[in-house]
Structure formats: C-alpha cells, structure tokens
Amino acid sequence: MNQTSEQKFVESLDICQSLIDFKYRPTNLTYQAIEFFCEIGKNPFELLELCQKYSSKIDNICRMIKEYTTSIDNWRVDCRLGFGAKDHCSFLSFFLNLDICKFEYFTENFTTPEEIAELFKDWKEIDFNPVIAKRKAVTV
C-alpha cells in the first residue's frame, strides 16, 4: 500500500468526522470524501485493507455520519456525481464498511451494495463487486 492512499484515506476519515459540524445543512464535503475513496478504490483491495487497518475508528465515524444524515433532508449536492446528501452518506457507509459488509442506506435510492457498486463501475470504472463477493463469503 502506498503512503498517498493511506493519507487520502485518513483525510477522508477526517472529512467524514467533520460532518457532525454541518448538522441541519448540506455540504459538498461528502463529495470530497467520495472522490478520495474512489481514488483509493481504483485498487478495491487496497481500500479494503485500509478499512481493516482503521476499523477501530470507523465505527465511531459511521455513527457521526448517521447523526449528520438524520439531521438533513436528501438535498441535492452541487458536484459532478449528483444525488442528494443522504445518498452521499450511503456511499460513505459503503466505502467505510467494505470489510464487514454491514452497509447502511439512508434513502430508498440505493438499498444494496451491488447497486452502489454498479454506480461506481459506471461512473469511475471501479469494480467493487469482487471485494463485496469476497467479504460476503467471509462474513457469512
């Protein structure tokens, strides 16, 4: 794993943690974190490895994301990806929980990891399905 990926991952964690400061209002910080996760996710197994390495922090960060998400509507976020703020939080949950396959969905727009994986395959040409399949086999 290269240091740059780990630095981007840590920065993404910091962004996710800061969402709690934006309760009741949308922010494009979610998109910034998604972009970092996608850069790392070009090698999905590297993202998986980082999730495992930082698993002790991720659970708390996911609680902060959920708290932020429950304070907002699915307001449209001004970015190249589109979708609403709650959808973005579903994507963040997807990235952060790849290692345990315990995903949280905050809208009805995406309700399976495979749907989110399809979005990122179409948008960024990143295939998370091998990671999802491997982790689901391990966690069953």
- Nearest partner of 13 among 40, 25, 24, judged by Cα: 40
> Total structural domains in the chain?
1
Q: Which domain holds residue 65?
A: 3-139
pTM assigned to the model: 0.93
In whole angstroms, what separates CA 30 from the centre of its chain? 9
Tens digit of each residue's pLDDT (9 = 90 or more) over 76-128:
988 999 899 999 999 999 999 999 888 999 999 999 999 999 999 999 999 99
